[in-house]
Amino acid sequence: MFLRVGGKEQLVREPDYTGSVTADVQAPPDELVVLIIRAAKALVDRLRSAQPEDAHSPMTVVHGLAARYLLGRNDVTAGELARYLRITKQSTSEVVALLEQAGIVRRAPHPRDGRARVLLLTDDGVAKLEQGRLRWQRVEDEWAGLVGRGNLDTMRDALLAFLRADEAVSSPTGPAAA
């Protein structure tokens, strides 16, 4: 029997009536976006597996992105953090509440707007980010050993270019707003 797979006709064996169909074709390669998502999940899983058993944390990748965004900044409001994370202000409030509970973030008066509050990393938050950065660095070094530092740098540049272009399109002042 012939089936059309990926725009090409492929010879496929008849079903064996056990519910499975065997084919003389290889599965199509994963799309790039699928590979990126799978790799990101594998990286996060690897990082979590390196933690001690008793170090279970309710923190997610979004919590880490939020804390990382605050590093070196002293004027980030919850609204700005919501825009950066591309989540609702209500979801951002939940993220910040958990970060506060964990002692990673604290709220303080805004340096220029007396009505607003800013989100600041605590000393413990800065230390935890540094610990995480060191763990990530070990994983990145292992990855560079697999594909070569130059390839990894090329991938970093490509991802940054995509993120910059996406930010420009998604920004309220970017092309999408026109």
Domain map (residue ranges) of the chain:
1-28, 31-169
Q: Are 70 and 132 in contact (CB under 8 A)?
A: no
- Please provide the size of the chain in residues: 178
Question: What is the spatial distance between Cα 129 and Cα 134, in angstroms, rounded to a whole number?
Answer: 9
Question: What pTM, to 2 d.p., does this model score?
Answer: 0.71
The mean pLDDT value for 127-155 works out to 92
pLDDT value, residue 176: 45
State the CATH class of domain 31-169.
Answer: mainly alpha
Tell me the pLDDT of the chain averaged across its residues: 83
- Type of residue found at 37: I
pLDDT value, residue 172: 62
pLDDT value, residue 3: 55
Lowest mean pLDDT among 45-49, 141-145, 165-169: 45-49
Task: Retrieve residue 47's tokens.
Answer: 């990082």
Question: What is the spatial distance between Cα 78 and Cα 96, in angstroms, rounded to a whole number?
Answer: 8
pLDDT value, residue 156: 93
Helices and strands per DSSP (H, E), number in the chain = 6, 4
Q: What share of the chain is helix, strand, coil (3-state, %, to 5)?
A: 55, 10, 30
Q: Is the pLDDT of residue 7 over 90?
A: no
Residue 151: pLDDT band (50, 70, 90) is very high
pLDDT value, residue 178: 39
Q: Give residue for tokens 């591309």.
A: 86
Name 107's bridge partners: 119
What dihedral do alpha carbons 93, 94, 98, 100 form, nearest 10°? 10
Q: Is the pLDDT of residue 167 over 70?
A: yes
pLDDT value, residue 122: 96
Q: Are 5 and 25 in contact (CB under 8 A)?
A: yes
